[in-house]
Amino acid sequence: MPISRRATAAILPLLLSSMALTSCNGDDGGGGSRPDGAIEGEIRFQTWNLRANFKDYFNGLVDAFEEKYPDVKVTWLDQPAENYAEKLSADAGSGNLPDVVNVSPDLAHPLAKAGVLMNLDQEKASSRFRSEYTPEAWKGNALPGLDGTYAFPWYLNTGPMFYNKALFRKAGLDPAKPPHTYDALFSAADTMASTSGGTVATLAGTPSIEDFGRYGVTLMNDDATAFTYNESQGVELLTRYKKLYDKGGLDGQALTNTPEKAGQKFLEQKVAMNPGSAHDLETFKRDAPSLYKNLGITEAPNNTGKPNMYVMGLAVKENSEHKAAAIAFAHFITNRKNQESFAHKVAIFPSTKGSLDKPYWTKDDGTDEGRVRVASAKLLKGAVNYTPVVMSDEMKTVLQNEVAKALQGKKSPKKALDDAVAQSNQLLQQG
């Protein structure tokens, strides 16, 4: 299930070329909606790798909607996670995109840029629902450079930062006050490295684009046509990571650590802080009881006052033959009742206004899941999606490689970031 944001390759060229070949397929381009906006007709609804675990849930939703609107017939489709972006591109190019599709902002961007998705802010039938969702969720589905929101906010996710209270105490740090800013983080990491003789690092991974965002770096220009994270603050952050790496505050294998390896280092208590989830708590309880006993949960450090957030949405096809029905269905799936119901079945969070104020997300019920759920829910208020929607996996790899060169001393932090931005901007232009 695609809980976290999935970066995708640029698919706009394929979309545009395919659409040029199919522009004469008889569609009038006006969406085919009846003048009176009647909620009727046959629509197709496509999710992203959800059928295996939630078949009964979604079948029940479809049945409930059809009971409410007896003149509508909904066909539910589900696609596997693998090659989902390419599937969307091919369907859009051939004119076969379903009426309502499950997308993350990075998947929505090329489709919206090609004119395939409806702009909710410009469609009166959909914009009137805006007040039902949190401002953070609505903004999270807005697309830079396209002046609008192109998907109904659906479920959200974020991840807490785990920290080892015992290692904090041993280093003379207050375990009740984990670092919430990068200044505090680097200070704690210096202390941890010094008091342990370099045997205990604070972090296990190199900085990602999210770290640059949380540090306060301007990642792109306003219309998302060029990366800018090589600005002075970006250079400052990488320079601080370089010093941390040299002192042993960053794990010695950070350049090659995968999330799994980083998690293992934390479990072995060789690293003091690491992001995680409720699933990790079960592992800690079983394999590292001393860690579990001393486990702290906090937010990832940031200088902006805004934690990171992953968002998912439901988009409506711009030229749907039954747009009124498609809008009604997308809103039905993402309304408060149905979002809260779904969030009780899996570790996600509703994007509807007021939902996260309920006891389920504010009161710890004593379970591991509840402990993480409550801690994570607190982080979603005011959270933003830091990763640019146009940043592909290839661009992320470019940044990762250049960061590694800076940490190894092969390039200065400024040179590394200048090169990363130049390569990524070239890829962006090619896309």
pLDDT 10s digits, 108-125:
999 999 999 999 998 887
Task: Assess whether pLDDT exceeds 60 at residue 39.
Answer: yes
State mean pLDDT over 173-201.
Answer: 96
Full DSSP string of 214-255: HHT---B-TTSSSB-TTSHHHHHHHHHHHHHHHHTSB-TTTT
Nearest to 210 by CA among 161, 264, 138: 161
Name the pLDDT band for 316 (thresholds 50, 70, 90): very high
Closest CA to 47 of 318, 325, 330, 339: 330
Rounded Cα–Cα distance for residues 85 and 90 (Å): 9
Q: Is the model's pTM score more than 0.85?
A: no
When pLDDT is cut at 50, 70 and 90, the band that residue 64 belongs to is: very high
pLDDT bin (cut points 50, 70, 90) of residue 126 is confident
Residue 386, helix vs strand vs coil: coil
**Domains plus CATH for the chain?**
12-157+309-380 (3.40.190.10), 161-306+386-430 (3.40.190.10)
DSSP for 303-342, please give it: SSS--B-EEEEEEEBTT-TTHHHHHHHHHHHTSHHHHHHH
**Segment (H or E) for 168:** helix 165-170
Higher-pLDDT residue of 239 and 309 is 239
Provide the residue count of the chain: 431
pLDDT at 6 over 50: no
In the predicted structure, residue 7 carries a pLDDT above the cut 50? no
Give the three-class secondary structure for 32: coil
Instruction: Please state, rounded to an integer, the average pLDDT across all residues of the chain.
Output: 89
- pLDDT category at 1 given cuts 50, 70, 90 is very low
- Of 77, 107, 133, which Cα lies nearest the Cα of 10? 107
Whether pLDDT at 33 is above 70: no
- Residue 22 — very low, low, confident or very high, per pLDDT cuts 50/70/90? very low
Residue 137 has pLDDT above 60, yes or no: yes
Residue written as token pair 């993350």: 104
Structure token digits, residue 43 = 């629509």
Task: Please count the other Cβ atoms lying within 10 Å of the Cβ belonging to residue 253.
Answer: 14
8 Å CB contact between 257 and 263: no
